[in-house]
Structures are given as C-alpha cells and as structure tokens.
A and B are shown apart, each in its own frame.
Chain A
C-alpha cells in the first residue's frame, strides 16, 4: 500500500526563503496515485512565479498552485486533478523565493494509490462484451454462445467446436434458436469409434437463408454443408428440415456458413449411432452357431458348437472352442470352422483274439466293433457278444457304457479231443 503525507519544508510553522522540495512516487500497475491537498498557504504571486508548488503526472505539469486556498476549494477544484495515469508517476516540486512579506505555513498533502477501474474509466479496455474490474487489473467475458478470443478482449461466436466423439449428442448453430451474428463460419466434426455409423436427425427449427433461382432454392450465401467420406458433400439450406440423414459413416463433418448479410435462425440436430452389421455367418454342417439372431452387429460374438460326435477344426487343426467377433469393418474376425467327425483311433489289439468291424466307417464316431477271442482256447471276459461303439468321448465303449479293456481268458479243461472208449 502506497500512502503518506507530503509537506512543504517547515510545515506547519512556515517555510523559509529559498526553501525547496522535490517529491516523486509511482503507482503500481493497474493503480493510479493521487495527492489530496489538505492545506495550502503560499505567497501569492502572478503566475505563481515567486513561491509555488508544481505537480507533474509522468513529467507533465498538471497543476501549479500558490496563494491560499480554502479546504473546500481544494476538495472541489484542485484535488480531483492531482491524479497519475494508471501505473504512472506523480512528482511534486516546491520552491520559495528570497523573501516573503509575511510568514506562510506552506502546504500539506496526503498521497495514496488506488485501483484503477479500467472497465469504467478506460475507454480503451476493448472488452467486446463484458468487463470485470479487479484490484490491479480487469478481465473480459462473453455472452453465452461466444468465447473469448486469444487477445482476451474479443468475443467470438462459439461454434460448438472440437470433435463430438460420444455415441450420441446434440449440435446446434451458434446462438440457436436466436439468429447469430453475421459472418459465421463454424465447423463441427462428429467422429465416433470405428464400428459405429452416425445418423443425423434434424429437430425443431431448420432455417438457413436460401436464394430462389430458376432451378429452385440455392444455398448461395448461407449453408450447412454435410461432408461424408467418399461421398459428394451436401449443401443444406431453406426452411424444410432434412429430418433424418443416415450416413453409414463414423465420421461426419458439418460446415455452417453465413455471410455478413441476410438472416438464418439456424438449426439443431440430434445425432445417434448404430453398430455396423456383419454378414450372416451361415449354416454349419454338423454343428450350430449360437446365438441365433436375425442380424449381427459390431462387437457381437458368435460361438460354434459341433454336434455330438464331431470336433471343431480350423486350418486343419482341432480347436477346443470357437468364437468370432463382428469387427468394426463389418467382417467377422475369424471365418467359421468346420465340424469333422470324431475318430476313436485304432481299437486296441487283443492278445489271443482280434477285432471285427461291424458297422460304420472305420474308427469314426458310432462305428461298431466286436472283439473276439481265439476260440475254443480263449473266451472274452464278460461274454462273447460284447460290442464296442466309438463314442463322443473318442473312446470305444461297450454296450454298458463302460470302458473295459477286453481280455481273452483261457478256456480250461476242455480238450479238443476226448478220450473215448466204446469197449465195455
């Protein structure tokens, strides 16, 4: 805080001949410095050429005082002008000549700095909308629909700006539904992640000035251009809403342009997104695809299960399970596998016996075999007619579903030749 008293030499007893004083102070940035003279009693002379107090602002003389002044006069006429520019300096000089006819008390002043109100007192503050003063400075702000430019003073129409990357959203022209200032040039980019397509649904008022030509309305001066990759840009104007525009793209650019004439109330739209659709996965021989849906979209998974007795094969390799996802490019990330019939492998050979295929393709699912032992010297443990079927678990299982390693057990006590004696 800058404040204090500045007095003439000898005050209040009075100054002597050839007295002098040089005083100077500077205000901080955003502040002004003022002097308030409380008392003035100097020798009176023409143009204050004998005794005088001179006050300068930034070296420029702003006041020369002598004689005696009443407090009220000082308050109303002198003090208001003893003010520095914002951040400027005040200087004060005092001198007395060689003689005085009577003794004069001199002067007393109180100096102080104070905030400068740039918003009200500085015509050059250049805030185009709002100005807010604060101690030592000021700040500009803008109305809704505008943003403060890089110079911190200028308010420019806010065009929504940036990239709209949410899966749904709402866009509108500047100031909508109030007509915006002229010469608007706004760009909006809707860019959602790949795998989604954007649909634009214009709602409520659609009002963009058009020019009537022989060919019909023409978007000559004002327009909203919709640009979809790999397609011709569409210029929209008039008062008829385009309603719904399905783009089949995940990136859309909207350019809204008005020139400095005419009137367009603007537009607003809701955009929504849909997942891209993958082709129907098709049917699978000896297996099925789950879930069964009428349509498959981005990020949908499908699973494949083979019928009982079949195994999943991909690229010639058996796989435990299979799933594929609908990708952002509307293609399945893996092609469907195939279901191949299971194979139980060669049945185990049987010591002192053999195996006979009864039905089915050799070793494949549901093939049926029968083991036999070399009769009459061996018999099959568990019975002679045990058949084995190639089951879904790739094992040869008997009728009773039990995996039993067949065994030939020797036949005992039954010679092929019997002792015979017919003599009695």
Chain B
C-alpha cells in the first residue's frame, strides 16, 4: 500500500494474506470456507498453483504473528476465462480458494459483503484498499509486516482509459482496460495499492457495510502521478462466484 497507514486491529477483518511459493498476495474472506483473490495470484507460469502450496493467513494485522497458524487451502477455482500467460491480459482476474475447514468469525475475522450484479460504482466515491504489499518509504519501496490501508476514490472509466492510453505510449506491454475492471486512485499519485497487495480488497461502504467492490489486480508502477490502480470489478462476477460456491 502506497501512502497508507497501519490498519488498527480488527478494522479490516476480511483481509487475508496469501503465501504462494514464496510470493505474497492478498485476498479477502467472503464466506466461512471461501477466500476471494486475484487469478494471477494463484497462477504460475500459466498454470494454477497446487493448493498445497497456498497458505492462508487471517485474523491479525502483524505478519509475524499471522504466520504462526496458516489455514490450508482445499481447492482453487480460477475464473475460466482468465488467460494471462504473458501478464498483459488481466481480464477476469478473479479466483476463489476454498478452505479445508470453516473458520468461525469474530472481531478479527469477518467476511466482506459482495455486491449485487450491476451495482453502481460512483466515481469519486472513496474506497478502502488494504494489504501487506510493499509500501513507499523515504528509502524506497519495502515489504511491510503490518497491514496497511489507504483511501482512494473510484475514477471514471474514461479517466482511467485515457491514463492507460498515455501510459501505453511510453511503456511496453501495458495491459488493456476492460469493462470487467475499474480504476481507483488520485491523479497526483502517492496513494495506491502495490505489489503484494494483489488479490486484496478494494472496499466501498454503503449503509455502514463494507462491500468488495474490487480486487487489487494491476497497475503501471505504484502511486505514480497520472496512473491509477486497476481493480477487478467484482459485481461483474457475482453469478460466477455464487455458482462456484454452490457447486463446491
């Protein structure tokens, strides 16, 4: 999380830390057996990682404490249309992980709500993105052991699209924006999600409840001026999520 703060205990109880073959990723609790994350977190070299190689941590904000008791994954369900062998196509970047045993919710572990299909993402609405990914310090980007959070607003699809078009001119292999994605961030930069946060939640809040509007997916650098974080638009996948959970 770039430009964020340490999350107080129990403030982001749906946040999940995934350990995947030594890489760090984020996720969010959506049921007592289910974790939602980004598909690219659970892919390696174009193939799904083995569920035995997925360790799930939840309930605490400090990684050192969190690592003591990992939860074992039972199965991984990647969106069938996700196809990103060269890391340039993040369309359908969503996956579900089923846990072997259910967890009991308490103040430190709680699911985040899911949006109904077609829920409005109103530009300018301030969202909350969290994770254990790299943070920006005066000495550069480092991986944090504390869960961080930062508030960034939803930006219009047009603003985001224009930003990406510009970035494509200066960079190579910049992925494309689709309708299954949305952007959040501030044009001046400095507040963003970053590596290690992917798969984690971008939460919006309505009527006192946080709901999973997005999944940290990709972006060009982190916290860069004129660039925005790109998130998987969860409401587009409500059918697939429900179906996958029911069938499994």
Contact = CB atoms under 8 A, between A and B. Distances in A.
Nearest to B32: A410
Interface stretch (A150-158, A200-208, A413-421): A413-421
Contact of B112 (A378, A413, A416, A419): A413
Contacts of B23: none
A410 B105 contact: yes
A116 B183 CA distance: 144
B170 to A, nearest CB: 35
Contacts of B113: 412-413
B214 to A, nearest CB: 14
B149 interface: yes
B9 A410 contact: no
Contacts of B105: 352, 377-378, 410-411
A416 B7 contact: no
Contacts of B7: 419
Interface string A377-404: 1100000000000000000000000000
B111 A412 contact: yes
Contact of A414 (B8, B9, B209): B209
Interface in A104-149: none
A369 B99 CA distance: 34
A415 B205 CA distance: 11
Contacts of A413: 14, 110-113, 203, 205, 209-211
A416 B107 contact: yes
Contacts of B106: 377
B208 interface: yes
B200 to A, nearest CB: 15
> Per DSSP, are chain B's interface residues mostly helix, strand or loop, or mixed?
loop
Contacts of A418: 11
B23 to A, nearest CB: 27
Contact of A412 (B8, B10, B104, B209): B209
A414 B208 CA distance: 7
Given A377-B106, A410-B110, A410-B111, A416 B10 contact: yes
B210 A410 contact: no
Contacts of A419: 7-8, 11, 128, 149
Contacts of B181: none
A412 B112 CA distance: 5
A415 B9 CA distance: 10
Nearest to A416: B107
Contact of A415 (B32, B210, B211): B210
B104 A352 contact: yes
A415 B12 contact: yes
B8 A411 contact: no
Between B32, B110, B112, B149, the greatest number of chain A beta carbons within 10 A of the residue's beta carbon is seen for: B110
Interface string B182-211: 000000000000000000000101001111
Interface in B225-241: none
B223 interface: no
Contacts of B209: 412-414
Interface in B206-221: 208-211
Contacts of A415: 10-13, 107, 110, 210
13 contacts: A377-B105, A410-B32, A410-B110, A410-B111, A411-B105, A411-B110, A412-B110, A413-B110, A413-B113, A413-B205, A415-B11, A419-B11, A419-B149
Interface of B: 7-14, 30-32, 104-107, 110-114, 128, 149, 203, 205, 208-211
Q: Please name the 9 residue pairs, one residue from A and one from B, whose CB atoms are nearest each other, closest first.
A: A413-B210, A413-B209, A413-B113, A412-B113, A377-B105, A417-B10, A416-B107, A417-B11, A412-B111
Given A352-B104, A414-B110, 13 more contacts: A352-B105, A377-B105, A410-B105, A411-B110, A412-B30, A412-B111, A412-B211, A413-B113, A413-B203, A413-B210, A415-B10, A415-B13, A419-B7
